[in-house]
């Protein structure tokens, strides 16, 4: 990575970490791939290879599942008290906090996001998640069911078993935390496959898993490609559950792969979230809110506010306000201190996003700002606001996963709600208005797993997150996630 005047130094440990090929973490040990293969990790700001990582495949997944099964059934993990388990999870959160700068730098180099954002969002949210889930370890309870004096009936909430977790590249560390936290709190064991685009922070996390004292085999991290390592994990017969975050297309493949042993499946998939602005909204907050709803993380958020519906009388104002915000965004390498928006994660995503821009133009949409790739190296796309859109356009229906918002005016509220819900997705939505009754009425009508009112992209480990319709199955975070990682056993004794 070329140093510029404003770029901070790469942390010594980060330099060291990316300077040597990284191995995979199986049964508490760092091992090469069975095939001996490694794969390249690119810096999206330059398009250059910056690290190499062991390339996991079926054989490595087999080894990792075996280790996870053993750790689930014997050894210290299944006999540990809930309190001790909670302490280990808390300790993992503390260790991440102690290594905040290293994680932030790895995320920025690997994913492209601004270092300043990784420092205040990705890493602290991962710390919070582990701390929150640590508390749940001691609070997983069953019920007694007094249906007859002749029987003692009660339920036990038991860990589901060996869990395969497949995560994406948009928030690499945070997605690992969302997955690992509840699995550990409930006493499961895990094989985690990070995205091939961004495997580095999960490998640093595995070092801390060992340092925290989490027993060998409880967490295994096998980097590799989706079609090989990912598919092997999803179809593995000795895996009890698979948790996946990524594209809806691959989500459907996961469901098919899981059919072999009918393992439980949870999915957090795509979105095309409507962001609705009424003319009575507080525009001093709404305009910057609508801009950050789409431009945060370069639009590479499953819940990005990518369809902007604005009440007709305010349409021009809001659009020109969001356009002004877009013009203020400094696009550049994540490591530069002035950067607000980094590159997209990969050449594939760059091609996908620019392909959507072309499709929008050919269907008659217009970019008021942006609309192009930035010239030069790296996978940079200009923040873009599209107008003259209509609901049938591909850019209004499909997930772009880039910094591209499609704006539409509305005048009739019932029609608006029908249109907002007219999507195969249902992950998130937002409403901006000063009329709180209207806001809650509309929140009820929107078919989405999260509805934000006068805010956007607000997350907390205590708030469940997940999708209606083709945005997924199940809820992550909050107490709802515990259901995804536990089985309920009814015990009934004649007395």
Residues lying near ligand NAI in the complex (CB under 6 A): 166-168, 170, 193, 195-196, 225-227, 230-231, 234, 245-247, 250, 253-254, 268-270, 302, 349, 352, 399, 401
Query: Minimum distance from CB of 235 to ligand NAI (Å)?
Result: 8
Q: Which is nearer to ligand NAI, 371 or 472 (CB)?
A: 472
Residue whose beta carbon is closest to ligand NAI: 226
492 catalytic residue (yes or no): no
Contacts of 372 (CB under 8 A, 6+ apart): 354, 357, 381, 382
Structure tokens at 79: 């006999």
Smallest distance, ligand NAI to C-beta of residue 411, A: 31
Given CA atoms 86, 301, 234, 95 in this order, what sign does their dihedral have?
Answer: negative
Q: Which is nearer to ligand NAI, 182 or 299 (CB)?
A: 299
* Rounded distance between C-alpha atoms, residue 176 and residue 205, angstroms: 9
Distance CA 478, CA 457 (A): 16
Q: With respect to ligand NAI, which residue has the nearer C-beta, 43 or 306?
A: 306
Rounded Cα–Cα distance for residues 253 and 259 (Å)? 10
347/381 Cα distance (integer angstroms): 11
> Taking the complex as a whole, how short is the minimal distance between the CB of residue 368 and ligand NAI, in angstroms?
23
C-alpha–C-alpha distance, residues 197 and 270, integer Å: 18
* Least distance to ligand NAI, CB of residue 76, Å: 30
Do residues 277 and 309 touch, judged by C-beta distance below 8 A? yes
Give 414-431 as a 3 state SS string: HHHHHHHHCCCEECEEEE
Task: Kindly tell me which of 227 and 435 has the beta carbon lying closer to ligand NAI.
Answer: 227
**CB closer to ligand NAI out of 59 and 73:** 59
Q: Catalytic residue among 188, 301, 302, 406, which?
A: 302
Name the nearest CA neighbour of 396 among 422, 431, 369, 370: 422
261 DSSP 8-state letter: T
Q: Which is nearer to ligand NAI, 44 or 270 (CB)?
A: 270
The catalytic position among 102, 268, 311, 398 is 268
CB of 479 to ligand NAI, least distance (A): 22
What is the closest distance, in whole angstroms, from the C-beta atom of residue 338 to ligand NAI in the complex? 27
Q: What sign results for the dihedral spanned by CA atoms 274, 250, 345, 20?
A: positive
Q: Closest distance between ligand NAI and the C-beta of residue 263, in Å?
A: 13
Q: Which two tokens stand for residue 203?
A: 């490998």
For ligand NAI, give the closer residue by CB, 220 or 486: 220
User: At closest approach, how far in Å is the CB of 300 from ligand NAI?
Assistant: 7
Distance (Å, whole) CA 185 – CA 7: 39
| DSSP assignment string, 150-183 | TEEEEEEEEE--EEEEE--SSSHHHHHHHHHHHH
Cα distance between residue 198 and residue 171, in whole Å: 9
Residue 122 in tokens: 């990705």
Based on CB atoms, which residue is closest to ligand NAI, 315 or 452?
Answer: 452
**HSE of 57, CA atoms in CB hemisphere, 13 A:** 9
The SS3 call for residue 69 is: helix
User: Residue 409: beta bridge partners?
Assistant: 310
Query: What is the spatial distance between Cα 182 and Cα 57, in angstroms, rounded to a whole number?
Result: 26
**Nearest distance, CB of residue 231 and ligand NAI, angstroms:** 4
Given the complex with ligand NAI, which of 252 and 312 has the nearer CB atom? Answer: 252
DSSP string, 222-245: ----IIIIIHHHHH-TT-SEEEEE
Query: Has 366 been annotated as catalytic?
Result: no
* Catalytic residue IDs: 268, 302
């Amino acid at each position: 990575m070329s140093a510029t005047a404003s770029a901070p130094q790469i942390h010594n440990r980060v330099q060291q970490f990316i300077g040597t090929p990284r191995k995979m973490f199986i049964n508490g040990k760092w091992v090469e791939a069975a095939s001996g293969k490694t794969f390249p990790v690119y810096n999206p700001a330059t398009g250059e290879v910056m690290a190499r990582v062991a390339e996991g495949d079926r054989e490595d997944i087999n080894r990792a599942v075996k280790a996870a099964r053993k750790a689930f059934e014997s050894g210290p993990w299944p006999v540990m008290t809930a309190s001790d388990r909670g302490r280990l999870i808390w300790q993992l959160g503390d260790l991440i906090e102690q290594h905040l700068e290293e994680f932030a730098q790895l995320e920025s180099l690997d994913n492209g996001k601004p270092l300043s954002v990784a420092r205040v969002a990705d890493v602290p949210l991962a710390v919070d998640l582990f701390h929150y889930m640590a508390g749940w370890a001691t609070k997983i309870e069953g019920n007694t069911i007094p249906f007859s004096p002749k029987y003692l009936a009660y339920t036990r909430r038991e860990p589901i078993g060996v869990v395969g977790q497949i995560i994406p590249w948009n928030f690499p560390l945070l997605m690992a935390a969302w997955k690992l936290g509840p699995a550990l709190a409930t006493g499961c064991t895990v094989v985690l496959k990070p995205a091939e685009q961004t495997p580095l922070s999960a490998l640093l996390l595995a070092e801390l898993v060992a340092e925290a004292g989490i027993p060998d085999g409880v967490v295994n991290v096998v980097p590799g490609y989706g079609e090989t390592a990912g598919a092997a994990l999803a179809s593995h017969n000795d895996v009890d559950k698979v948790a996946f975050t990524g594209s809806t297309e691959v989500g459907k493949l996961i469901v098919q792969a899981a059919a072999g042993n009918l393992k439980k499946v949870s999915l957090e998939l795509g979105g095309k979230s409507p962001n609705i602005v009424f003319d009575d909204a507080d525009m001093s907050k709404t305009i910057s809110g609508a801009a950050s709803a789409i431009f945060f993380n370069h639009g590479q958020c499953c819940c990005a506010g990518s369809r902007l519906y604005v009440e007709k009388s305010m349409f021009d104002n809001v659009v020109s306000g969001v356009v002004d915000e877009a013009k203020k965004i400094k696009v550049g390498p994540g490591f530069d201190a002035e950067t607000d928006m980094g590159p997209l994660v990969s050449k594939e995503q760059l091609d996908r996003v620019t392909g959507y821009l072309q499709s929008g133009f050919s269907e008659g949409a217009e970019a008021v700002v942006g609309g192009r790739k930035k010239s030069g190296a790296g996978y940079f796309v200009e923040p873009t606001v599209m107008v003259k859109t209509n609901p049938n356009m591909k850019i209004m229906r499909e997930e772009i996963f880039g910094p591209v918002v499609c704006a539409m005016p509305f005048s009739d509220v019932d029609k608006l709600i029908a249109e907002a819900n007219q999507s195969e997705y249902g992950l998130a939505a937002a409403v901006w208005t000063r009329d709180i009754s209207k806001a809650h009425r509309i929140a009820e009508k929107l078919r989405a797993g999260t509805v934000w009112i006068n805010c956007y992209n607000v997350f907390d480990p205590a708030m469940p997150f997940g999708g209606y319709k083709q945005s997924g199955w199940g809820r992550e975070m909050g107490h709802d996630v515990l259901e995804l990682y536990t089985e309920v056993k009814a015990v009934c004794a004649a007395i």
